[in-house]
Each structure stands twice: as C-alpha cells, then as structure tokens.
Structure 1
Amino acid sequence: MNVNSLKVVKICTAVLISTIPFLSFAADGPLPKSFEASSTLQAEGIVESIDLAKSAVTVTDSNGSEASFVVTDSADLGKIRQGGKVHIRMMRNATVSFAHTQNTGSAQTVVAEVQDIDHQSGVLTLKPAHGPVFHIQTREPEKLSKIVRGTPVEINYAQQVNIAVSAAQ
C-alpha cells in the first residue's frame, strides 16, 4: 500500500469511528428530527417581598437562597402575603433535537444525555455534562420510541417562562 492509500484508509477509519456512536443510539430506525417538550420546576419558599408594579415576588427557599420572579398572571400576587409560604411553578417550552456536537450549550440551550425514558408519560430524564439531572416532558410521546439511554440531545428553551405563584397549604 502506498502512502496516499494509507492516508485514505486512516481518514475513512476515523470518519467511521466518529459516527458509530450516533448510529447506535437509534433503536430500530432513525431518530425523529426534533420534538416539542416542556420543563416544569416547582418549589416552595417564604415571601420576602412583593412588587405589584413589576408583577414580581422575591422568595427565600428552605436552604436560605433568595430569588426573584416575574409572575405571568399578576392576579396571583393578590393571593399571597409577605412572610407567607408560597408554591412557585415555572413552566418553559422547549424543542428537543439530537446533538451531534460536544457543544456545552448556552443560557437558552442545554446539551445533555438521556439517562432514562418513560415512554408512557413522555418524560425524559437528562444529565448535562455539568449540572444536576433534570426532566423534560414531550407532548408527542410516540417520538420517544426510537430513543435509548445514552442518546445525546440538545434542548433549546423558549425565552418565555410562565411562572405561577400560590399560597402553600
């Protein structure tokens, strides 16, 4: 084999090796291009302050961390009191696609690996390279049928976040 033939073999081998992981993720056929999903985060805390003009509430959680939220429906603020315990629910829509890069993501994008799949409820358990495990639920559970553990995904979050606050029971 001459030097040029050896270079071609090495390049072809490298290309095949680099694509094998992506080929092995699909179970019985190609993965869907993308699908719609939503992420919901729920927490409880104590109201530190309420700003009716800005439709905002500042809450301290059980660990002492403080965060401020702009509430989607300002009528919710009339139902809570400073010093009272509240339940906060944040929902954000997203598009899930299949990551083919080692991109670490941005503020609106997260690259993660599928840890578990609940085909019945449409919930994916995901683990980013850096950060805690999180869940995202699809509106199209049938699109999860080809996804297996270890599949890399990219979650592109919508900029709009819906936040509701209510008095905790």
Structure 2
Amino acid sequence: MRILFSEAAVKARIEALADAIARDLPKDFLLAPVLTGAFIFAADLLRALHARGLDPGVDFVQLSSYGGARASSGVVALIKDFTVDLEGRSVLIVDDVLDSGRSLHFARRMTLDRGAAEARLCVLVRKATGRSADIEADYVGFEAGADDFLVGYGMDDGGRSRGLPFIGAM
C-alpha cells in the first residue's frame, strides 16, 4: 500500500470543504452520508461544519453497486432508504469516492424525485475514470488515479482498512 493523502492532508482538506459548504448552503440543510464508506468522512465534515456555525440535520442512505467486489457491478441497489422527509430541503449527499458515478447519480435523482429543493454532492475522492453516469461533484476533496484501489478513512478492501487515518492505494 502507498499513502496517497496523509492524515494531516485529509484534515486540512475537510476544513477547506467545510468553508466552501458553509458559504453555499443554508444553515438548516440535510447532510446525507452514503453508507458505508462515507461515515468517517461525514462525521469529520459534520464537526467542521459545526465549528462554522452550521447544524445540519443528518440522515443516512445506503447504496450498493460493488457487493464486496473491487469493481462495480453496474447495478445500484438501495439498501437503506432515507427516514426523513426531503420535501423542500437542501440536501448535501456525502460519499467517499466518485468513480463510475452510478451510485451518486442514483442518490441525486432519488433525492430530487422526493421533492428536495436541491441535491448537491460532496466526495472525499474523485477518481480519474470515465463516468458511466453524467455526474459531477459540487465539492471534491482529492483526485486519484483511475487504477488506484482506495482504502482508509472509511474506504475498505473487503471490510478491512476502513480505520486507517489516511487514504492509501492498494
């Protein structure tokens, strides 16, 4: 494994993302982390937003297109749905990686279909891959190569390495 982004670099980047989000979104927006990979990133981002005077609601959605494999199956499955009403809300969907774009396209479309006023996307890492779906993130932490298999900071390899405090590539 090689370290792509150190613990200090991740912390600094989350602070910068929180600055941008605090400028753009209303104080009462909904933070919607995509489980399971985004839970660590979302927790640190939530604390950084709080330090800037924001107190967003939080609700989780869980999607799957990998099924434990290292490559997407191409089919997005809804595993855990939102539990709050999205009607008229500003929603920030937070995910670990933007790769093919299928999951985030699905999440954004589902959010808007349920009446959200807006659905913005924040990703920790955007991979330099061709997107299967027409989607771009509004907030991006880092860029990684198309062939980098990412672990750490919530991202895993078969359920392992999520707790690493940095982002590495296998």
Which of the two has greater helix per residue?
A: 2
Higher relative contact order (CA 8 A, sep 6+): 1
Which of the two has greater strand per residue?
A: 1
> TM-score surpassing 0.5?
no
TM-score (ref. length: structure 1): 0.24
TM-score (ref. length: structure 2): 0.24
Max Rg structure: 1
